[in-house]
Amino acid sequence: MTQVYNFSAGPAMIPAEVLRRAEQELCNWHGLGTSVMEISHRSKEFIQVAEESEKDIRDLLNIPSNYKVLFCHGGARAQFAAVPMNLLGEKSTADYIDGGYWAHSAVKEALKYCTPNVIDVTTTIDGKRGILPMSEWKLSADSAYVHYCPNETIDGVAIDEMPDFGDKIVVADYSSCILSRPIDVSRFGVIYAGAQKNIGPAGLTLVIVREDLLGKARTELPSILDYTVLAENDSMFNTPPTFAWYLSGMVFKWLKEQGGLREMEKRNQAKAELLYGAIDRTGFYRNPVAATNRSWMNVPFQMADASLDNLFLEQAQAAGLHALKGHRVAGGMRASIYNAMPLEGVKALTDFMAEFEKRHG
Ligand code: PMP
């Protein structure tokens, strides 16, 4: 069988070693004669999974002890509602940085709960799409928090600067770049991420919340979205997505074995440089994002002749390079190269791109 590399934006690749181990132990987990999916989330065996996974992610991200780690349902979109309903308190506005599709989607949801102060931070740098530096973001004095998305999965636009807005509570949608490099968690009030890109299977959502922000939720907030309720119940107020949690825990262990987030940072930078280098080489391919804001995780690209797109995608698929079609709102191609994508996968893609260009350039 051809070696397949899956460039899907999410659900996305999971490390092959993790999948193999899950396969081996699927029907007889820990000698129980049953799978991990079929046991109680309150059994001592599953509690061990929960505790180890929390410890491992705390180690990986160096999460300070005054933060809770919550394993939730509902994806990042549930957090678009949970964030305002947990954090607004008596306030009626929050700052929403608008830098792309997902940041904008968070604004649309927030409108149900408050009057967001929408701050457009998009700009043009050398004729390409960029983001204003954080020092130019005009936050309002009366906002309950500032929300932004450090990696726009569809647009391929990243904000890598670490926030420093004094006492302002910073909330970040890290869905598509969590665990891709070290970050300073202490700069944030809340970090959230759907699992299905850089953590594990869909169904699990990670929330990291500073303890002093608990206890402010609106009374009408559904309990399963209430950070305080989830924290008080060790993320087991209702039945958690146990299989996704278990598999994510194995990904955390894999990351530690690989050398942690410093090592991921090196690998992700190398992969991104290889791919952007191939895109920029001749002008046959093009990426619309300014160098300072190019994402290491999601790399959209177009061809000067868009009528070649379908042929490119068909031939790539046949060569084992899957899921390269751009998002329906963006068109063109997109390669998502999260932690689980090896350098060899990106190399296979850049070799294919060079060959395709030779044939059609
Ligand atoms: N935010 C970002 C940055 C995303 O990439 C996505 C999914 N592509 C979402 C939010 C929505 O996530 P979910 O489908 O888990 O609700």
Question: Which pLDDT tens digit goes with each residue over 167-213?
Answer: 999 999 999 999 999 999 999 999 999 999 999 999 999 999 999 99
Residue type, 253: K
Give the mean pLDDT of the chain.
97
Q: What is the pTM of this model?
A: 0.98
Looking at the DSSP assignment, which residues form a beta bridge with residue 124?
129
Confidence of residue 24 (pLDDT cuts 50, 70, 90): very high
129 φ, ψ to 5°? -75, 130
Give the model's pLDDT for residue 361: 83
What is the distance between the alpha carbons of residues 19 and 194, in angstroms, rounded to a whole number? 19
277, exposed or middle or buried, with CB in 10 Å at 0-12, 13-18, 19+? Answer: exposed
Q: Are strands 298-303 and 333-336 parallel, antiparallel or unpaired?
A: antiparallel
Q: Which residues are annotated as a binding site for L-glutamate?
A: 42
3 state SS of 187: helix
Query: How confident is residue 307, by pLDDT bands cut at 50, 70 and 90?
Result: very high
Which residue lies with its CA nearest to atom 12 of ligand 1? 76
Ligand 1 atom index nearest CA of 174:
3
Return the SS3 of 209.
Answer: strand
SS3 184: coil
CA dist 338 and 322 (Å) reads 14
Active site residues: 102, 173, 197
ipTM of the predicted assembly exceeds 0.90? yes
Rounded to the nearest angstrom, the distance between the alpha carbon of 74 and the centre of ligand 1 is 10
- The whole-angstrom separation of Cα 272 and Cα 282 is 17
Kindly state the average pLDDT of the residues 312-324. Answer: 98
- Cis status, amide bond into 11, omega within 30 of 0: yes
Residues with C-beta less than 6 Å from any ligand 1 atom: 10, 75-77, 102, 149, 153, 173, 175-176, 194
Q: How far is the CA of 194 from the centre of ligand 1 (A)?
A: 6
Burial bucket for residue 63 (CB in 10 Å: 0-12, 13-18, 19+): middle
Atom of ligand 1 nearest to the CA of 75: 15
